Amino acid sequence: MELLESKHLSIISNGKNLVLDSDTILYVLMNKKIAEIHVAGGKTYNTRMTLGELEEKLGEGFLKIHRGCIVSVMAVHGISDKVDLSNGESLSYTTRKRKQIIARFLSQQESMIRSFDSSDTPAASAEYHRHYSVFDALPFAFTDIEMVFNEEKRAVDWIFRYANPAFAKLEKQPLEQLVGSSFGSLFSNMDSKWLRAYERAALYHEVLEVIDYSPEIDTYLKIICFPTFKGHCGCILFELSEITLVQNSSDAQKALMLYLEKAEK
């Protein structure tokens, strides 16, 4: 069973006609006769539509976890006592159907990951380099990574498919050693906290900012990651100690406050 291509969902919400890309939809919860459509970025749209209608319109990319909820397969990070989403949310599901739900999730996720093989992804390092050659001379670090999945279709590592000289300098690794190697093979103290963000960007097409400490290179980093090829994400990295914040107006202060408020959500 292959997953269908991305669909567009037409709804009426708050008296407005809207068209949603199914790739942005995380999950749908039914509240009586109202469908609450939760999308990436924290927004929710309410519309009068049955769950059955939504299942038919959204197709095989969505998994029914109880009678009032469907969730995007791409949004699921794992299933334990709850369905854990890549954005950090967790959803309850019908536990008596745990085996069936997990089996169907793994089947649908496998179909999605298998579809990466038929994408227009470059076939060799030279092709990646030609595609990203404009990044070679840029002063900030950039890399394109390909996610690595285990037999359970969980993201467990990533492979550097392209990296520029600034990235090699930041990582303190020779460029020729980085490209084509997995992160875990280069850094034995690999911190898995990076996986969830990269998985969200690669699988759910989100643009994310990560500010955290990298024990692998003993550096505090700001990373902006975004989807590139199927199953890949691009990462722009900055060393925090080299960034200077400039506020030249009152609007700059307001923008900073809005930014920090969003980061706390």
Which CATH number does the domain housing residue 227 bear? Answer: 3.30.450.20
Q: Which residue do the tokens 């069936």 mark?
A: 100
Q: Structural domain of residue 79, as residue ranges?
A: 8-115
Q: Are residues 25 and 108 both part of a single domain?
A: yes
Domain containing residue 78: CATH number: 2.40.50.1020
Judge contact between 72 and 27, C-beta under 8 A: yes
Q: Are residues 88 and 179 both part of a single domain?
A: no
Residue 252 lies in a domain: no
Residue 68 lies in a domain: yes
Give pairs for 40-43: CB < 8 Å, separation 24+. Answer: 40/87, 40/204, 40/205, 40/206, 42/265
* pLDDT for the residue 1: 27
* pLDDT for the residue 115: 66
Residue 254 lies in a domain: no
In terms of residues, how long is the chain? Answer: 265
Residue 227 lies in a domain: yes
Q: Are residues 128 and 222 both part of a single domain?
A: yes
Q: Are residues 129 and 221 both part of a single domain?
A: yes
> Residues 148-199: pLDDT tens digits?
988 766 788 999 999 999 999 999 999 999 999 999 999 988 877 888 889 8
Q: Are residues 166 and 145 both part of a single domain?
A: yes
User: Rounded to an integer, what distance in angstroms lies between the CA atom of residue 140 and that of residue 62?
Assistant: 38
Q: Are residues 39 and 139 both part of a single domain?
A: no
* pLDDT for the residue 4: 37
Considering only the C-alpha atoms of the chain, give the largest distance between any 2 of them, rounded to a whole number of Å.
59
What's the whole-model pTM score? 0.69
Residue 248 lies in a domain: no
Judge contact between 165 and 186, C-beta under 8 A: no
Residue 59, by phi and psi: left (phi above 0), alpha (psi -120 to 50) or beta?
A: left
Q: Are residues 26 and 60 both part of a single domain?
A: yes
* pLDDT for the residue 123: 83
Residue 43 lies in a domain: yes
Cβ neighbours around 191 below 10 Å, total: 13
User: Rounded to an integer, what distance in angstroms lies between the CA atom of residue 161 and that of residue 199?
Assistant: 16
- Weakly modelled stretches of the chain, pLDDT under 50: 1-5
The total of structural domains in the chain comes to 2
Domain final residue pick, 54, 89, 115: 115
Q: What burial class does residue 8 get, using C-beta atoms within 10 Å of its C-beta: 0-12 exposed, 13-18 middle, 19+ buried?
A: exposed
Residue 3 lies in a domain: no
Judge contact between 203 and 86, C-beta under 8 A: yes
